């Protein structure tokens, strides 16, 4: 069953609220959109509506964390991660156990247009020492990631989608933080994808397989710390690496992989994503087609890359 990862988050954090009374959830006037309202309706004393005050939400949550609570702060990713310097000081540098839950990532936001889309959030969070970045690709992974974050407190960024994502894993999926999730083995090239475009990347690999191109597909749910061993092995064993993300090609998964390979295993690379342009209004399907982030677009770019 397909589900938006923000919904998976909302349901899972609300379920965990019963057994973890140190979980506190904050929202900045977007509780219905981020799905934090589910927790809020069950645990009103541990849910804090901050109004449209993202900086204050970041700082308040950090103060709570320094007193032993496990705060989850929710907003559209661009609005909360956009308060970068506040996150830098109050959460990251302070080693405050706060999870930044950024929903509505990427061009998949659709009709609302660029102002609501986070296309640079991974790049920003990746620069902060020790900041963990998890981007789940489906419902099971999102739920597993939330359970992991509750049990393993540290400054973290959980990047979620507005749109529904098809299931890639069963509910028994064993999420392993920091370990790439191999969805398809292959020897001709490696496709490293994350979040909302993993299913498209897998579909693209199937299209290429018909043409005799055998692609390995890795789901990079943990962007930081990156599974460097899996990245280097993929490059060494296939010789060609393609990254796919609903994010700018600058500084996100593609940037992270390029940094690792540049130092450890220089390899020809193709970064598929938003190519240094702003987003715009349109249906998610139209935007994915335009930016060649749908399966056909990914396959087409790969054909050109390996030609």
Partner 1 sequence: MTREFSLTDLRRAAYEMRIDILRMLHAAGSGHPGGSLSLIDILTVLFYRHLDRTVENALAPDRNRFVLSKGHGVPGLYAVLARLGIIPADELLSLRRLGSPLQGHPVNAVLPVVEASTGSLGQGISMAQGMAMAAKLDGNGARVYALIGDGEFQEGQVWETLMSAPKFGLDNLTVILDYNKGQIDGPTAEVMDIDPVLDKVRSFRWDVQRIDGHDFAAIDEALRRTRRGDGAPSFIIADTVKGKGVSFMEGTVDWHGKAPDAEQTKTAIHEIETFLRDLN
Q: Tell me if 61 contacts partner 1 by CB under 8 A.
A: yes
- The one-character DSSP state at 44 is G
Residue with tokens 């009103």: 44
Q: Smallest distance, Å, CB 24 to partner 1?
A: 7
| Continuous H helices in the chain | 5-17, 31-34, 37-42, 54-66, 77-81, 84-86, 121-126, 139-151, 198-210, 228-238, 253-264, 284-290, 295-306
* Helices and strands, counts by H and E, the chain: 13, 14
Q: Smallest distance, Å, CB 201 to partner 1?
A: 38
Q: How far apart are alpha carbons 69 and 66 in whole angstroms?
A: 7
Site size toward partner 1, by CB under 8 A: 30
Q: Tell me if 24 contacts partner 1 by CB under 8 A.
A: yes
Binding-site member from 5, 8, 36, 90 for partner 1 (CB under 8 A): 90
Q: Smallest distance, Å, CB 61 to partner 1?
A: 6
Q: Smallest distance, Å, CB 84 to partner 1?
A: 11
- The one-character DSSP state at 46 is G
Q: Tell me if 219 contacts partner 1 by CB under 8 A.
A: no
Q: Tell me if 19 contacts partner 1 by CB under 8 A.
A: no
Q: How far apart are alpha carbons 63 and 124 in whole angstroms?
A: 22
| Closest to partner 1 by CB, 96 or 202 | 96
* Cα 284 to chain centroid, rounded: 17
Which member of 11, 12, 54, 120 is catalytic?
54
Q: Tell me if 306 contacts partner 1 by CB under 8 A.
A: no
Nearest alpha-carbon partner for 102 in 131, 69, 133: 133
Q: Tell me if 70 contacts partner 1 by CB under 8 A.
A: no
Q: Which stretch binds partner 1 (CB under 8 A): 49-57, 201-209, 266-274, 282-290?
A: 49-57
Binding-site member from 33, 42, 89, 173 for partner 1 (CB under 8 A): 89
HSE on the CB side for 7, CA within 13 Å?
10
Known catalytic membership, residue 54: yes
Listing DSSP states for 18-30 in one string gives: TT-TTEEEEESS-
| Closest to partner 1 by CB, 88 or 271 | 88
| Closest to partner 1 by CB, 69 or 143 | 69
In terms of DSSP bridges, do strands 132-134 and 222-224 run parallel, antiparallel, or are they unpaired? antiparallel
Q: What is the dihedral of CA 22, 43, 52, 125, to 10 degrees?
A: 40
Q: Smallest distance, Å, CB 32 to partner 1?
A: 20
Q: Which stretch binds partner 1 (CB under 8 A): 12-20, 30-38, 42-50, 230-238?
A: 42-50
Is 148 within 8 Å of 175 (Cβ atoms)?
yes
Q: Smallest distance, Å, CB 7 to partner 1?
A: 27
Q: How far apart are alpha carbons 256 and 92 in whole angstroms?
A: 19
Q: Tell me if 60 contacts partner 1 by CB under 8 A.
A: yes
Q: Tell me if 51 contacts partner 1 by CB under 8 A.
A: yes
Q: Which stretch binds partner 1 (CB under 8 A): 81-89, 116-124, 195-203, 293-301?
A: 81-89
Instruction: Return the SS3 of 302.
Output: helix
| Residues designated catalytic | 54
Residues at the site binding partner 1, with contacts judged by CB under 8 A = 24, 45-46, 48, 50-51, 53, 55-56, 58-69, 71, 85-86, 88-90, 93-95
């Amino acid at each position: 069953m397909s589900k938006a990862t923000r919904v998976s988050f909302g349901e899972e954090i609300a379920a965990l609220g019963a057994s973890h009374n140190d979980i506190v959830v904050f929202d900045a006037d977007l509780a219905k959109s981020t799905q934090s309202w589910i927790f809020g309706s069950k645990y009103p004393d541990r849910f804090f509506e901050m109004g449209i005050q993202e900086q204050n939400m970041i700082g308040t949550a950090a103060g709570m964390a320094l007193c032993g609570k496990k705060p989850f702060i929710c907003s559209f990713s661009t609005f909360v991660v956009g308060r970068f310097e506040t996150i830098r000081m109050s959460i990251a540098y302070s080693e405050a156990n706060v999870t930044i839950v950024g929903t509505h990532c990427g061009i998949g936001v659709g009709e609302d247009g660029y102002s609501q889309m986070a296309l640079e959030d991974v790049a920003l969070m990746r620069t902060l020492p020790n900041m963990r970045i998890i981007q789940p690709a489906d419902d099971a992974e999102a739920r597993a990631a939330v359970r992991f974050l509750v049990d393993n407190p540290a400054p973290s960024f959980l990047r979620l989608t507005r749109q529904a994502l098809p299931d890639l894993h069963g509910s028994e999926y064993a999420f392993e933080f920091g370990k790439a999730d191999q969805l398809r083995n292959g020897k001709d090239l490696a496709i490293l994808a994350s979040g909302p475009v993993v299913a498209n990347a897998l579909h693209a690999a199937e299209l290429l397989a018909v043409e005799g191109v055998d692609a390995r597909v890795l789901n990079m749910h943990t962007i930081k710390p990156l599974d460097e061993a899996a990245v280097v092995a993929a490059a060494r064993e296939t010789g060609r690496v393609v990254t796919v993300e609903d994010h700018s090609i600058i500084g996100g998964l593609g940037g992270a992989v390029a940094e690792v390979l540049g130092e450890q295993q220089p390899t020809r690379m193709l970064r598929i994503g938003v190519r240094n342009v702003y987003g715009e209004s349109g249906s998610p399907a139209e935007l994915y087609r335009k930016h060649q982030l749908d399966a056909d677009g990914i396959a087409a770019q790969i054909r050109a890359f390996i030609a």
